[in-house]
Structure 1
Amino acid sequence: MQIEQEIQHLFKDRDDIPLFYIESGSRLWGMASPDSDYDVRGFHLPSKAQYYDYQKHRDLIEIMDGDFDFVSFDINKMFGLLAKSNPTVLEWVRAHIIYFNQFPEWGEFKEGLLGKIDYKALYYHYLSLAKGGMQVMQTADNFTYKKVFYSIRGLMSAELATQKIMPELLITDLFAQIDVNDPLRHWAEAYLEIKKQQKEKAQLPDAEQQQILKLLNEKIEALNLRGIQITNDLNKLQQYLTDYSFNLKQHFYG
Structure 2
Amino acid sequence: MEEIIVEKLKEIEKQNHVKILFAVESGSRAWGFESAGSDYDVRFIYIHSPEWYLSIDPQGLGSKKDVMEYPFGGNLDINGWEITKALRLFRKSNPTILEWLRSKPIYFQNPLFAKRLHALEIDNFNPVPTIHHYFNLAMGNYKNYFQGKEVKIKIFLYVLKSILACVWVERNGSFPPVHIQDLLLVLDDEQIKREMEQLIKQKRSGENMVCIHDYQNAHDFINAKFLSIRQSLFIQKAELHNSTSQLDQLFRDTLSVVWCLKQG
Greater CA drift, 62-71 or 113-122: 113-122
Secondary structure of the 1:40 match is strand
1:119 matches 2:127: yes
In 1: Cα distance, 2:240 partner to 2:145 partner: 37
**Alpha-carbon deviation of 1:149?**
0.3
Amino acid at match of 2:43: R
**How do 1:1-254 residues align onto structure 2 when only pairs under 5 Å count?**
1=1, 2=3, 3-56=5-58, 57-66=64-73, 67-104=75-112, 106-139=114-147, 143-163=151-171, 164-176=173-185, 178-181=186-189, 183-199=191-207, 202-205=208-211, 207-208=213-214, 212-227=218-233, 229-230=236-237, 232-235=239-242, 237-253=243-259, 254=261
Length-normalised TM-score, structure 1: 0.89
1:240 to 1:91, Cα distance in 2 relative to 1, 3 A:
same
What's the RMSD between the two structures over aligned residues? 2.3
SS of match in other structure, 1:120: helix
In the alignment, the residues of structure 2 paired with residue 229 and residue 165 of structure 1 have an alpha-carbon distance, to the nearest angstrom, of: 15
Q: Aligned in 2, Cα 1:138/1:231: closer, same or farther, shift over 3 Å?
A: closer
**Alignment coverage as a number of residue pairs:** 250
Counterpart of 1:64 in 2: which secondary structure? Answer: strand
Secondary structure of 2:125's aligned partner: coil
1:13 partner SS = helix
Paired residue secondary structure (1:204): strand
Between 1:107-116 and 1:241-250, the stretch displaced more is 107-116
Amino acid aligned to 1:63: Y
Q: Deviations over 1:36-78 (max 9, x none)?
A: 1100001000233312122240001100012111111001100
Report the more deviating stretch, 128-137 or 185-194.
Answer: 185-194
* Matching residue's letter, 1:226: S
Which one-letter code corresponds to 2:127 in the other structure?
Answer: Y
User: What code does the residue aligned with 1:125 have?
Assistant: H
1:211 CA displacement: 5.2
CA contact (8 A) 1:29 1:170 kept: yes
Q: 3-state SS of the aligned residue for 1:22?
A: strand
Specify every segment of 5 or more residues in structure 2 that has no aligned partner in the other structure, as ranges: 59-63
Residues 219, 184 of structure 1: CA spacing in aligned structure 2 closer, same or farther, 3 A cutoff? farther
Equivalent residue number for residue 61 of structure 2: none
Contact 1:157–1:167 (Cα < 8 Å) also in 2: yes
8 Å Cα contact 2:164/2:183 also seen in 1: yes
SS in 2 for 1:100: strand
For the residues of structure 2 that align with 1:187 and 1:206, how far apart are their CA atoms? 11
Identity value in percent: 24
